[in-house]
Amino acid sequence: MPLRPLPAVQKEDAGRRTAERLRLLAEQLQPQRRMVHTGDVIYQAGERFGNLYILNSGFFKIVNLSADGREQVVGLKFRGDWLGFDGIAGQRYVCDAVAMDTGEVWVVPYESLLAACAAHPALLQMLHAAMSREIAHDRDSLMSVCTLPADARVADFLRYWAESLADRGMRTDEITLRMTRAEIGNYLGMTLESVSRALSRLARDKVIGFATKGRREVQIPDVGALSAFVQRCLAPAPAMLQ
């Protein structure tokens, strides 16, 4: 289904729900607060697991290092998201978590979290919901990379970014991409050139616009148009008359 832009009232409600969840987490867990800046790493692959992290502000990318030393962006995190679930099973983190902007993360010792969940079932429900959202998004990302043509992948990526902002009550008509073209290509399994061509096509079709020459500020007049663009890319070509 195409994503419809959220009315202002719904955006305010979404932002209020995110703020309420964070308030409850802060009250129940009393986490350590840590300021981060672009490029800061809060945990690295191979590091012993001990904490989960809640993103209170800013943006993060999750990076996996392949056997031959290549970096692969495998996840994006927004306000209210949890980081570090990958370390629970093996007791070591398997990815790096890198800040893409100035922000704040809350550090939650895992043992303390378990004790708090035992005492407060609502907190356990919030933890399970966060895990479920991550599983669902990982599935959707895999489907996008495996099934969508290049232009549609970029459109779907922008749709996801805008939708994530809308879910947090933030504006979606103009967004600042915190990733370079190369990083977007890395995340989507595309070359930098393919990403640039896809963005140019989206702009030519007036699905998006660029506010500056640097093209980091992306204007999205109608988020639903991104979903419609993806559907057009998937539509079968009309049969040729014999």
Burial of 24 (C-beta count, 10 Å sphere; 0-12/13-18/19+): middle
Q: pLDDT value at position 236?
A: 62
- Do residue 93 and residue 164 come from a single domain? no
Residue 7 lies in a domain: no
Q: pLDDT value at position 215?
A: 66
- Do residue 135 and residue 169 come from a single domain? no
Q: pLDDT value at position 2?
A: 37
N- to C-terminal Cα separation, the chain: 34
Residue 2 lies in a domain: no
- Which of 157, 182, 52 is CA-nearest to residue 105? 52
CATH of the domain at 129: 2.60.120.10
- Do residue 68 and residue 185 come from a single domain? no
Structure tokens at 166: 């809308």
Burial of 153 (C-beta count, 10 Å sphere; 0-12/13-18/19+): buried
Q: Which residues of the chain have pLDDT under 70?
A: 1-12, 14, 212-215, 235-242
- Do residue 53 and residue 134 come from a single domain? yes
Q: pLDDT value at position 11?
A: 54
Q: Which domain-ending residue is among 109, 141, 173?
A: 141
Q: Which domain-ending residue is among 141, 164, 183?
A: 141
Q: Which domain-ending residue is among 141, 158, 173?
A: 141
- Do residue 108 and residue 193 come from a single domain? no
Which residue range(s) make up the domain with 63? 16-141
Q: pLDDT value at position 3?
A: 38
Residue type, 145: V
- Do residue 129 and residue 179 come from a single domain? no
HEC secondary structure over 158-189: HHHHHHHHHHCCCCCCEEECCCCHHHHHHHHC
Residue 20 lies in a domain: yes
Q: pLDDT value at position 167?
A: 87
Residue 3 lies in a domain: no
- Do residue 133 and residue 41 come from a single domain? yes
Q: pLDDT value at position 87?
A: 96
- Do residue 181 and residue 84 come from a single domain? no
What is the torsion angle, in degrees rounded to the nearest 10, for the CA atoms of residue 151, residue 157, residue 160 and residue 166? Answer: -90
Q: pTM (2 decimals)?
A: 0.85
Calpha distance 20→184 (Å, rounded): 31
Residue 11 lies in a domain: no
Structure tokens at 216: 């980091």
- Do residue 137 and residue 92 come from a single domain? yes
- Do residue 103 and residue 182 come from a single domain? no
Q: pLDDT value at position 5?
A: 44
- Do residue 105 and residue 37 come from a single domain? yes
Residue 63 lies in a domain: yes
- Give how many domains the chain has, as a whole number: 2
Q: Which residue has the tokens 């832009």?
A: 5
